[in-house]
Structure 1
Amino acid sequence: MQGFALGWFVDAWLEDGSMEHADRIAGVELGGTKAIALVAQAGRVVERLVVPTTDPAQTLGALRMALLDWHGHSPIDALGIASFGPLRLDRTAADFGRMLATPKAGWSDADIAGQLAGGFDVPWRIDTDVNGATLAEWRWGAGQGCGSLCYLTIGTGVGGGIVMDGRPVHGMLHPELGHMRFRRAQGDNFAGACPFHGDCVEGLVSGSALKARFGRPGEDIGDDDPQWSFVAQDLAELVCAILLTVSPHRILIGGSVALGRPFLLPMIRARSVDMLSNYLPHVTADAAQHIMVQPGLGADAGPMGALALGMAALN
């Protein structure tokens, strides 16, 4: 496979004092529609494979074969796995590393960690894809210098990752920010589309929810549709809840929906400041420009998140 380099990543890798430049780090980003496996060394991505996410046996099998092949030719030193969830991340649990109940057909109880890391005598770490992306943004992207960082991704679903002092946040599970429910804007009667909770945030603003809310595919929805005001309100409710509970230094708002509609971010900022009603003195209209921002790594955040997890496994 032909290698390729990401210039910013080369510089960041070589400047990172926490690892040897010669370390070969493997990463797997397992997404809902596609999966990426890659190996990086000395700041250069030297191996890469992209496969569609179909059923667990086919998808995980293809990824494992690639890892074994790469490891056989030149041993990898660590592995990071960033997967869609929900996942069991409690290492003491019998189902550690497995997928929990998920609406993605056939993937409930899939042994993600066992299939990808089993048999590799190297340090490895597994986390959610959005926690991995948050760690990458904290390390190399728009979260650099932040003691605490939250990353919201609004796309096929709504996910949220939190990193505190360089460590992804876990409890009994991991943050499921997209499944919280909030007060609704006056006049918004959309019932929601989440199969679990109806009008949770994901059920209101994810790609599939927007199609149901607007009654047409996303590409056919005009930027001037008044219902975007409801979407901005729903996301501002989520942002306010995060600011009041986690108190992050920065919230990154990304994903295909947010990045594809750049007018949403200013609306979210304004609504959030208004709803907080000066209760948080540090969240002013001017400060919001720096607190709520777009992610810095773009489409690289996912695979770089898997590599960041692999690097963290070495420490």
Structure 2
Amino acid sequence: MLIGGIEAGGTKFVCAVGDESGEIFDKVIFPNKDPDDTLSEAKQFFDKYSIEALGVGSFGPVDLDKQSGTYGQVLHTPKVKWRNFPLLSRLQNEYSIPVYLDTDVNAACLGEYKYGAGRNVNSCLYITVGTGIGAGLVQNGKLFQGKNHSEMGHIFVQKHVDDSFAGSCPSHGACIEGLVSGPAIEQRYGKKGIELIDNKAVWELAAYYLAQAIVNYYVILSPEKIILGGGVMKQEKLYPMIREEFTKQMNGYLKIDNVDDLIVAPELDDEQGVKGAILLAVND
């Protein structure tokens, strides 16, 4: 059975064809433009195959409330051309096969849970730190979803005493996304993170905020594994810094047997999103 998967990111689309085992047979990556051009390019790829279902992990916010009149629609996204775009119905009409939609971070979490760093646990939290910050939780093979998907990138954290940056989030200013996402780092320092690799203070502050957010997630959700991915986490020095700061901020309140085993990197070489998208169609 051939299944299509789309990781619909804010800056790029990843389209793949695979099967229930997690094997990817073909894949293409291209920029996210306007909806018509982007989805046309995706269809050119999928038309080469007889796929029986399609799973999509989308940038957001996207309406996942099946009782809503705008179910499957991209909501108030910063990508203006995609705002209020009926993504799910458009794909259903174009492909005439079952289409399953969730957030990009939920899809990535599912991929890592099934095939990657979370494959040996019952619960895992996947956090992406990149253009935005988001997180998804899988418990016993099921993605968590309330009335709609959770927006864990928009929690508030305590500002560092020496930090005067107001934050970059247009809605909340200094939420965690507004403090340490890729655009927040660029706005704060006037340079992209890749240009700040050797500036230790940049990453110490990022670790301070990310660890604080992870403490919040951990005391609420108590996942067995916390997987940190996304473009900002390509700075691998962040992992030990976050673990150290997490331990410091937890301050012995909850027993952590092995923080190195709790907070980890992804294992799927940036394919967790598209593999998870395929799983959305397999698991339904």
TM superposition score category, shorter chain reference: over 0.9
Structure 2 counterpart SS, 1:226: helix
**1:190 and 1:213 in contact (8 A); partners too:** yes
User: RMSD value over aligned CA atoms?
Assistant: 1.7
Structure 1 portions without partners, runs of 5+: 1-22
Is 1:191 the equivalent of 2:166?
yes
Shift of 1:119: 5.4
Counterpart amino acid of 1:304? Answer: K
**Stretch of structure 1 that moved more, 31-40 or 94-103:** 31-40
AA of the residue aligned to 1:51? F
Matched, 1:263 2:253: no
| Alignment partner of 1:220 is 2:195 | yes
Q: Which residue of 2 aligns with 1:12?
A: none
Structure 2 runs not aligned, ≥5 long:
none
Contact kept in structure 1, 2:88 and 2:99, CA below 8 Å: no
Contact 2:74/2:87 (<8 A) preserved: yes
Query: How many angstroms apart in 2 are the aligned matches of 1:195 and 1:290?
Result: 35
Aligned 1:166-205 pairs, distance under 5 A: 166-205=141-180
The TM-score with structure 1 as length reference comes to 0.85
Structure 1 counterpart of 2:266: 295
Contact 1:83 1:127 in 2 (8 A): yes
1:268-305 CA distances to partner (integer Å, 9 max, x unpaired)? 11111111121112x25xx1111100011121112112
* AA matched with 2:100: R
| TM superposition score normalised by structure 2 | 0.94
Which position in structure 1 is the counterpart of 2:3? 25
Indicate how the Cα distance of structure 1 residues 45 and 230 shifts in structure 2: closer, same or farther if over 3 A, else same: closer
Shift of 1:135: 0.3
Work out whether 1:34 is the aligned partner of 2:35: no
| Separation in 2, partners of 1:43, 1:136 | 9
Q: 1:156 offset after TM fit, Å?
A: 1.2
Q: 1:95 to 1:290 in 2, by over 3 A?
A: same
Number of residue pairs matched? 283
Query: Shift of residue 196 of structure 1?
Result: 1.2
Paired residue for 1:19? Answer: none
Matched to 1:79, the amino acid is L
Q: Is the 8 A contact 1:60 1:112 kept in 2?
A: no
Note the C-alpha offset of 1:195.
1.1
* Inter-partner Cα distance in structure 1 for 2:186 and 2:249: 27
The answer to which of 175-184 and 113-122 deviates more is 113-122
Distance 1:196 1:125 in 2: 29
Contact 1:55 1:106 survives alignment (8 Å): yes
Which residue identity lines up with residue 52 of structure 1 in the other structure?
P
Task: Map 1:109-188; keep pairs closer than 5 Å.
Answer: 109-118=84-93, 120-188=95-163
State the distance in 1 between where 2:200 and 2:115 align: 36
Q: Percent identity?
A: 37
2:92, 2:98 within 8 Å by CA — same for their partners in 1?
A: no
